Structure 1
């Protein structure tokens, strides 16, 4: 039996039009060093720049509600 652990990284989206920048969750399938600063697809389907300086979940108020919900499933 193999135990698989899901690892999430925090990623910051850009403010676009009337929306504000939010923190999102990105599921990592590679070592964090390989995605540092890269734009990745988030759990909610948007693109955001991964920040390995921040851990998920981020202790902030500007967190994507969809990513917060999907990362707990």
Structure 2
């Protein structure tokens, strides 16, 4: 496979739910389909959490409450 056939990786932001003492965070999801096909269900994030994709929010997100593991994994 040549470098010209490799597609760019697309990441979108997803919001997790707060669980007990853990606050909701923004996570990164690697998207393998068009955003028009995202139906609002939870997706597996890069760090292994489940979160709901927000196609209006780009990654990296400017928010302060971002998952540190997802930041590292998308760098």
Match 1:70 to one of 46, 70, 73: 73
The number of residue pairs the alignment matches comes to 72
Query: Structure 2-normalised TM-score?
Result: 0.90
Give the conservation status (yes or no) of the 8 Å contact 1:36–1:52. Answer: no
Give the corresponding residue for 1:11.
14
> Over residues 13-48 of structure 1, what are the superposed CA-to-partner deviations in whole Å (9 max), with x where a residue is unaligned?
000111000000000011111114221000000000
**Partner in structure 2 of residue 58 of structure 1:** 61
* TM-score normalised by length of structure 1: 0.93
| Structure 2 segments unaligned to the other structure (5+ residues) | none
* Runs ≥4 residues deviating over 4 A: none
RMSD: 0.9
Residue ranges of structure 1 left out of the alignment (5+ in a row): none
Contact 1:40 1:50 in 2 (8 A): yes
**Structure number with larger C-alpha Rg:** 2
Take 2:28 and 2:40, find their aligned partners in 1: how far apart are those partners?
14
